[in-house]
Amino acid sequence: MLFAVSMTFIDQTIVSIAAPDIVNELGLSASGMQWVVNAYLVSLAAFFALGGRLADLYGPRRIVIIGTLVFVVSSVLCGCVPQGDAAQSWLIIFRATQGLGAALLFPAALAVVVAVFPLDRRGRALALFFGLSGALTAIGPLLGGWLTSWTWRAIFWVNVPVAVVALVLTTIARIADRRRRESLDTVGAALIAVGMGVSVLGFQQAATWGWDSAATWACIAGGLAVLVLFWRYEHGRRHPLVNLAVFRDKAFTVDTLVLFFAMLAFVPVFFFASVYAQVSLSASANQAALYLLYFFAGFAIASQWGGRMLDKQGARAPMKIGTIVGAVGFALWAGKLTDLSMHDQWPYVALAGAGIGFILAPASTDAVNRAIGASYGEVTGITQTVRNYAASVGLAVLGTILTHRTTENVVSTLTSQGVPSDTANGVAKDIAEAMTGNGDTHRPTGSGTAATATRDAMSSVRMDFAQANQWVFYAMAIALGIAFLFALRHPGGAGTPATAAGERQTAPPSPAAPAPPSQEEHRPDEHRSRA
pLDDT per residue as tens digits for the range 441-484:
334 444 444 445 455 566 778 898 999 999 999 999 999 999 99
pLDDT per residue as tens digits for the range 498-513:
433 334 333 343 343 3
Confidence at 428, pLDDT banded by 50, 70, 90: confident
C-alpha to C-alpha distance for 510 and 480, rounded to whole angstroms: 41
Across 13-17, 117-121, 123-127, 242-246, which has the greatest mean pLDDT?
Answer: 242-246
Regarding predicted confidence, which is higher, 60 or 487? 487
pLDDT of 366 higher than 50: yes
pLDDT at 198: 85
- Report which residue type is found at 361: A
Question: Mean pLDDT over residues 395-400, rounded?
Answer: 84
Residues 6+ apart with CB under 8 A from 326: 262, 265, 352, 354, 355, 356, 358, 359, 477, 480, 483
pLDDT of 517 higher than 60: no
pLDDT at 137: 66
Q: Are 91 and 81 in contact (CB under 8 A)?
A: yes
pLDDT at 468: 92
pLDDT at 500: 35
Regarding predicted confidence, which is higher, 10 or 58? 58
pLDDT at 486: 96
C-alpha to C-alpha distance for 137 and 266, rounded to whole angstroms: 9
Regarding predicted confidence, which is higher, 278 or 419? 278
How far is CA 77 from each of CA 72, 96, 141, 160, 281, rounded to the nearest angstrom? 9, 12, 21, 11, 33
Residues 6+ apart with CB under 8 A from 212: none
pLDDT per residue as tens digits for the range 54-85:
888 888 889 999 999 999 999 999 999 988 88
pLDDT at 296: 83
Confidence at 377, pLDDT banded by 50, 70, 90: low
Give the 3-state DSSP-derived string for 445-509, with helices as H, strands as E and coil as C: CCCHHHHHHHHHCHHHHHHHHHHHHHHHHHHHHHHHHHHHHHHCCCCCECCCHHHHCCCCCCCCC
- Report which residue type is found at 135: A
3-state helix, strand, coil in the chain (%, to 5): 80, 0, 20
Regarding predicted confidence, which is higher, 451 or 407? 407
Of 46, 49, 452, 387, nearest to 234 (Cα)? 49
Radius of gyration of the chain from Cα atoms? Answer: 23
Of 124, 116, 163, nearest to 6 (Cα)? 163
Q: Three-state SS for 153?
A: coil
pLDDT per residue as tens digits for the range 107-156:
888 888 877 877 667 767 777 777 676 667 666 666 777 787 788 898 89
pLDDT at 60: 86
pLDDT above 70 as % of the chain: 81
pLDDT at 528: 36
Of 380, 384, 387, 348, nearest to 265 (Cα)? 387
pLDDT at 63: 92
pLDDT at 522: 38
Confidence at 437, pLDDT banded by 50, 70, 90: low
In the predicted model, what is the mean pLDDT of the chain?
79
